[in-house]
Structure 1
Amino acid sequence: MDWILEVVPVPVSNLDRAKDFYSTQVGFTLDLDIQISPDTRIIQLTPPGSTCSIHLSTGPMPPGSVSGLQLVVPDLDTAQTELSNRGVPVTEIMHFDQGTRLPGRGDPWNNFIFFDDPDGNSWVIQERPATPD
């Protein structure tokens, strides 16, 4: 039996601001925005190429409490440029050496950029090395 992770909740303080950030600035696809009751609105977005989505939520977790959500891309330079051009404050390319985050590139699978959403939920983007043909 397959166990597929489908949706990850991301707690935010303002649904419209978060929806705009993730769809317009980060480039996620807006899948669903529906008010299902006076107190419940569901906003679901999916990163391009992903089968797992995020669900923006105003509870029960505190806004900004999610850390280390991770995306993987084939080209970190392109991802960094795209995010920066859309106004996302993204770090320079970094790598880890014995637990310390350092500027510049590392070995394959050891290249990352980082950004936070407006509430402080943190994201990691890791570069997947190209596989030889």
Structure 2
Amino acid sequence: MDWTLEVVVLPVSDIDRAIDFYRDKVGFALDHNTTNEHMHVAQLTPRGSGCSIVIGDLPAQKEMAPGSMRGLQLVVADARAAREELISRGVEASEVTVFDERDGGTFFGFSDPDGNTWAVQELKVRAEKPLIPAEARGRFGAE
């Protein structure tokens, strides 16, 4: 039996500000933004990822303090290009650091407006072999 991690709850203080940050500055796709008299919940997914972040105001989502997530990790084929893309959209990002010359040893980081932190790892192999093939992406098999 496969067990797949598909959602991470991210604690934020302002849902709309977080949507703007992750959609407009980081480039995640906004899968849904549901508001009714009981809740406000949004799901955003990085392009090429099988795992999304969910932000909202349901009781379980309020159990963590905004900004308390540390070291969530994204993977890109080119760390320098990814960093430049984020900086061009107004995201403050650390310098690229090479811990190991082998593929997978290059990183940089950034934080969201609440202080949740992200590590971005370079895996050059993802350029030729994406984790999720393009034809299998998206909620219904298309990106």
TM-score higher than 0.5 = yes
- Structure 2 residues without counterparts, runs of 5 or longer: 129-143
- The structure with more strand, counted as a fraction of residues: 1
Give me the identity figure in percent: 48
Which protein is richer in helix relative to its size?
2
SS in 2 for 1:11: coil
Whole-angstrom distance in 2 between the partners of 1:36 and 1:8? 22
Unaligned runs of 5+ in 1: 97-105
Q: Which amino acid aligns with 1:49?
A: G
Q: Which aligned pairs between 1:1-133 and structure 2 lie closer than 5 A?
A: 1-38=1-38, 40-58=39-57, 59-96=62-99, 106-108=100-102, 109-130=104-125
Measured in 2, the distance between the counterparts of 1:68 and 1:83 equals 17
Q: TM-score, normalised by structure 1?
A: 0.86
Post-superposition Cα deviations, 1:72-117, rounded to whole Å, max 9, x if no partner, equal 1101111011000000001110133xxxxxxxxx312111010000
CA distance in 1, matches of 2:56, 2:110: 19
Residue equivalent to 2:134: none
Alignment length (residue pairs) = 123
- Report the Cα offset of residue 49 of structure 1: 0.5
Does the CA contact (< 8 Å) of 1:67 and 1:121 recur in 2? Answer: yes
